[in-house]
Amino acid sequence: MKIRASVANSFGKHEVSVETNGTRQSVSIAPKASGFGSSVNGGELLFLALATCYANDIYREAAKRGIAVERVEVTVEGDFGAEGEPAQNIAYHVKISAKASESEIESLIRDTDRVAEIQNTLRTAAPVVLTRLEAVEV
């Protein structure tokens, strides 16, 4: 699966898109009130990625077990320090309502934590590499 995320920003304009295997969709995120940049910061988006991944994976893993999930709530929290410092103390809380026993739901929660791709990407400290830069003089 090939995934791409793109941001194009200029004064008063903030265009965000994501793409998986050639299927592209826009994501609505307003520009900052000052006009430049995004009204949502990267840390918020990172934590949203963790929450979204886990919620989607709960449904996937529940379907494999024949568990009907009615509601998923995921809250991710963490701390960022000074500029350039990585996040610390990242933790998440999960609440699942499903047509299954408490022990089956708890097992689903634990097992999904082991296979959640975004969580595992951060846990393995995957390298992030700048591969190309383009400077355009105006």
DSSP symbols for 1-57: --EEEEEEEETTEEEEEEEETTEEEEE--PBPTTSSSBSS-HHHHHHHHHHHHHHHH
List all residues 6 or more positions away from 1 whose beta carbon is below 8 Å from its beta carbon.
20, 21
Domain 41-123 fold = GMP Synthetase; Chain A, domain 3 (3.30.300)
Domain locations in the chain? 1-36, 41-123
pLDDT at 18: 96
Across residues 50-73, what is the average pLDDT? 98
Across residues 111-138, what is the average pLDDT? 94
pLDDT per residue over 76-87, tens digit each? 999 999 999 999
List all residues 6 or more positions away from 137 whose beta carbon is below 8 Å from its beta carbon.
none
pLDDT at 95: 97
Distance of CA 98 to the CA centre of its chain: 23
Mean residue pLDDT of the chain comes to 96
Q: With bands split at pLDDT 50, 70 and 90, how would you rate the model's confidence at 119?
A: very high
